[in-house]
Amino acid sequence: MPEKLRMRFSKTGRAIWLSHLDLMRTMQRAFLRAEYPLKYSEGFNPHAQISILLPLSVGVSSVCELMDFQLREDVDLTQLPERLTSVMPEGIVIHEAYPMENKSKFLKWLRVTARLEYDDRNLEEMAAGLNAFYAQDSIVITRKTKRGEGQTDIVPAIQTLNATAGERHVELEAMISAQEPTLNPDHLIAALRQLKPELAPDFAAFTRQEVYFENGEVFR
Amino acid sequence: MDARLERILPRVLKPARYVGGEYQQIIKDKADVDLRMAFCFPDVYEIGMSNIGMRILYDVINRMPGVWCERVFAPWGDMDAEMRKAGIPLYALESGDPVSEFDVLGFSVGYEMAYPAVLNMLDLAGIPLRSADRPDLTPLVFAGGTSCCNPEPMAPFFDLMVVGEGEEVDCELLELFRHAQKSGWSKTQFLEAAAQIQGIYVPAFYEPEYNDDGTIKTVHTTHNAPARVTKRIIEDLDACPFPTHPIVPSTEIVHDRVNVELFRGCIRGCRFCQAGYVYRPVRPRKTETLIKQGIEALKSTGYQEATLLSLSSSDYRPLSDLCDGMLEYCEPRSISLSLPSLRADNFSMDIMSRLQKVRKGGLTFAPEAGTQRLRDAINKNVTEEDLLNSCRVAFEGGWNGVKLYFMLGLPTETDEDVLGIAELANRVLHCWRQYAKFKNRGVRITVSTSCFVPKPHSPFQWEAQVTMAEYQRKVNLLRENIRARNVTYNWHDPDTSFVEAVLSRGDRRIADVIEHVWRHGGNLEAWGDYFSFERWMNAFKDCGVDPYFYACRERGAEEIMPWEVIDMGVTRRHLRHERDQAYKAVLSPDCRKQCTACGALKLMTKGGCCDA
Ligand code: SF4
């Protein structure tokens, strides 16, 4: 019985605009094109046994996406990344595939970077302002939930955060909680819009850089 | 990616349709390219990418060395507004480059309601709308597609129009254009040469003169252009390339599957159906070709569905063999096969049950008319017995829904014919009561009607469309007579059909109306979100055009039609004969029973025969 497998891939460039559903469909078709037989569920409406660990929002880049899957036969996993990448749309690159060892619930931290664009503000001032803003003891934002609006303090979900002024924009790097609680990087910007609009950027582009265990070790 | 684009994409619906990058898109090195074409589809991505004609031509044109053909679709309203606000011009998906930098823009215009969207795309590209306002050779703006069989309503906007199938003529045109660019020709010089290619209509070289009553008196030809432009066809489809490595959209489109095109043309000759006449002669592909192409496309795309496409798929002679061949590959891989255009007959039902082993939703039939007399008049060769037999097979096989499509306002229609629709629906219901396998699940019979639009190059091209009030009266009559709880009646509003009727049989004077509509906010008119009847009526008024003259007037037998210059193969005499037979409710044999010498055979210049 072939084991459970996991692969790490990037979703960058034009591919960041694919929704989670688009990506799932793309993955299934790519496996078929590469002639890797995905395992399907039994039943009336069989679907491929694939699952993506932390679904990514549309418009966010990532170089550390993880997907679990199962195949109906054993394959050479060292060849898989290249073969699968060759049948992917632009912007999706498979880096490695390996037997799955760590349950997804042990994935805790996520390191993200962001390019914050300010069209006509001083970048040094912005960076300093951002560092001060996120260093507060509590930042309570209003967010839409399934049951209307809710209040959340995002500070417990931020381990570290650092903003630096670059030449054209502010670079932000943060270690945030990926699960329990889940902090969507968008909330970092939402906090600015709600509480300190003068620091809210004209545009923000996030990239997921790496995922970690609770203890700070890289999660695979 | 354009930094401005990156900023607006998070704010628009379905951004994936605006970025390209799909698997098997064609990217070329600009250093090797001396001619860039923007293949423009005047509707949104999901519709355009589902269009088989566009897939075929994208493939064929990109096979030309030195030519790079990219895709351009119409942005939805939100994206359109964002692009205009940010100053982003219309761009092509593959390279992201502005369309205005391209040498050639080719619009694929399949239906008339897309006309305002063409203008919107030109404007968004920053290109003047009218051919006369584009004095230079580059960019060339042309059109192809079924709507070109009446090129007149869009005549002032396009530099030229391609009539018929594009695989060969598009390439000839692009070669000529490349030559013209290299030789420094003027636009007129190029158009004069292009007009000599069979299938190319240069509107500027034809000048209609009108009678006092508004009909066309004559058409003057200038610049040595041919008196008639004869449509192009591919004589040997097996020898013609077919896209076996099509683009696989990353986001969902309407028809997200592999297309296998069985044949072109139709043997039936339903008198209301433009497609049945303008795609003649009938030319099938060989079964081996189709199986090979189908399997290759399935392999290259990873699609889990293939459809056997054509105007009337069950008329493909070796359909059984084809299905066997495809199923042999598809079944073990759980790939489903579908047949879109089913006739209500035993053979089709047989094939159907073989293909759809699992999914059993609803079945769709199009009897088009409620009584045998009217079905005979329109030459829809389906009897009530055929239909009920098919329903019986379906119900016995476990289907629990049937959709029935009809048209109201067909020539010669009486109230008896309208009521016949209700009766037919009742008989289908009765059939279900008698034969259904799973009665406890209930049954859903849906009757839909739309208002008939007389089309150019069909036997009903002379007919008046019924007025909107008359259509509504018929709808009410039918509604009062459909009483069974299990039968649902849906009807389409007649206002779009009315506008469609004006556009499809319009002449050059309609162009101002189209531009007026666009200038007042009209765009993707095939979408209910955009269509505004009031906007069209205002445009007719402001432009001094009487829409009833075009939609609801019966043309005289000898009247010169706006599309008279266009020769689609089938002769006017044949069409008129078919029209006369309709008034006698006399059927004509299909091409297989007996060739009625429609005229299309003359297009087979290499001596091929029809339906071989
Ligand atoms: S030439 Fe004859 S067989 Fe061919 S399409 Fe016309 S009627 Fe049919």
Beta-carbon count within 10 A of B453 CB: 24
Measured CA to CA, the distance from residue B43 to residue B55 in angstroms comes to: 15
Region for B442 from its dihedrals, namely left if φ exceeds 0, alpha if ψ lies in -120 to 50, beta otherwise: left
Q: Note the pLDDT of residue B322.
A: 93
Domains B3-230 and B236-359 share a fold: no
Q: Is the pLDDT of residue B351 over 80?
A: no
pLDDT computed for residue B63 by the predictor: 97
Q: How far apart are CA B464 and CA B471, in angstroms?
A: 13
Fold topology of B236-359: Transcription Regulator spoIIAA (3.30.750)
Higher-confidence residue of A208 and B2: namely A208
CATH topology of domain B361-492: Transcription Regulator spoIIAA (3.30.750)
Would you place residue B358 in the very low, low, confident or very high pLDDT band (cuts 50, 70, 90)? very low
Structural domain boundaries of chain B?
A: 3-230, 236-359, 361-492
Select from B15, B303, B304 the Cβ nearest to the Cβ of A58: B15
Give residue B346's pLDDT: 67
B469-511 tens-digit pLDDT: 999 999 999 999 998 889 999 999 999 999 999 999 999 999 9
For B238-283, the DSSP string reads: GGS---SS--B-SS--SS-SEEEE-EES-SS--TT-SHHHHTPSPE
Alpha-carbon distance values, A43 to A73, B346, B359 (Å): 20, 31, 13
ipTM of this complex > 0.90? Answer: yes
Q: Contact at 8 Å (CB) between A214 and A145?
A: no
**Which chain B residues are within 8 Å of A30, Cβ to Cβ?**
23, 302
Please give the distance, rounded to the nearest whole angstrom, from the Cα atom of residue B569 to the centre of ligand 1: 10
Percentage of chain A beyond pLDDT 90 is 90
Give domain B3-230's CATH number out of 3.40.50.720, 3.30.420.40, 3.40.50.280, 2.30.30.180. 3.40.50.280
> How does pLDDT run across B201-211, given as a tens digit for each residue?
999 999 999 99
The list of chain A residues with pLDDT below 50 reads none
Exposure of B418 in the CB half-sphere (CA atoms within 13 A): 25
Is residue A22 within 8 angstroms of chain B, CB to CB?
yes
Distance between B118 CA and the closest CA of chain A, angstroms:
26
pTM listed for this prediction: 0.95
Residue B170 vs residues B135, B192, B591: alpha-carbon distances, Å: 22, 16, 30
Distance CA B331, CA B309 (A): 19
Q: Are B131 and B156 in contact (CB under 8 A)?
A: yes
Question: What is the dotted CATH code of the domain comprising A5-101?
Answer: 3.30.70.580
Residues of B in contact with A94 (CB under 8 A): none
The residue of chain B nearest to residue A33, with distances taken between CA atoms, is B302
User: What is the pLDDT at residue B341?
Assistant: 65
Find the CB nearest A205 among B6, B250, B304: B6
Segment B239-261 shows an average pLDDT of 95
How long, in residues, is chain A? 220
| Token code pair at residue B393 | 């097979």
pLDDT-derived band of residue B93, with 50, 70 and 90 as boundaries?
A: very high
Q: Matching CATH topology for A5-101 and A106-213?
A: yes
User: Using one digit for the tens of pLDDT, what is the confidence trace for A158-207?
Assistant: 999 999 999 999 999 999 999 999 999 999 999 999 999 999 999 999 99
Q: Which of residues 66-105 of A touch B (CB under 8 A)?
A: 87-91
Question: pLDDT tens across B401-454, in order?
Answer: 889 999 999 999 999 999 999 999 999 999 999 988 778 878 899 999 999 999
Q: Which residue has the higher pLDDT, B349 or B290?
A: B290
**Site to substitute for ligand 1 among B278, B458, B595, most atoms within 8 A of C-beta:** B595
Q: What is the CATH number of domain A106-213?
A: 3.30.70
**Nearest of B514, B576, B611, B612 to residue B280 by alpha carbon:** B611
Domain-wise residue ranges, chain A: 5-101, 106-213
Q: pLDDT for B545-570, tens place per residue?
A: 999 999 999 999 999 999 999 999 99
